[in-house]
């Protein structure tokens, strides 16, 4: 699984996903309620961190959970 697949899965939630890139690294945030955010040295690390946090949250949107399940987190 690569970062594009993870970000495509995350964008299926209400409001989507936001990616910030700075000299200090990458931050991936959902705009869901409640929001999830993760910082990483690569975009893949940050996106995977958000996906794992969502997977363990029972409030994760069904479409996102189904797509993340297909990616075999």
* Tens-digit pLDDT profile for residues 46-72: 999 999 999 888 888 988 988 888 887
Given CA atoms 65, 9, 45, 69 in this order, what sign does their dihedral have?
Answer: positive
Say what the pTM is: 0.87
- Domain extent listing, the chain: 3-70
CA distances (Å), origin 37, targets 6, 9, 30 = 14, 15, 7
**Which pLDDT does position 6 carry in this prediction?**
92
* Tens-digit pLDDT profile for residues 2-54: 899 999 999 999 989 999 999 999 999 999 988 999 999 999 999 999 999 99
**Which pLDDT does position 73 carry in this prediction?**
66
The strands making up 17-22's β-sheet, listed across from edge to edge, are 17-22, 25-30, 37-40
């Amino acid at each position: 699984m690569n970062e594009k697949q993870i970000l495509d899965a995350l964008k299926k939630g209400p409001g989507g996903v936001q990616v910030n890139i700075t000299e200090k690294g990458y931050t991936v945030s959902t705009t869901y309620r409640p929001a999830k955010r993760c910082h990483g040295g690569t975009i893949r690390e940050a996106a995977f961190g958000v996906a794992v946090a969502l997977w363990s949250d029972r409030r994760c949107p069904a479409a996102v959970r189904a797509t993340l399940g297909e990616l075999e987190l």
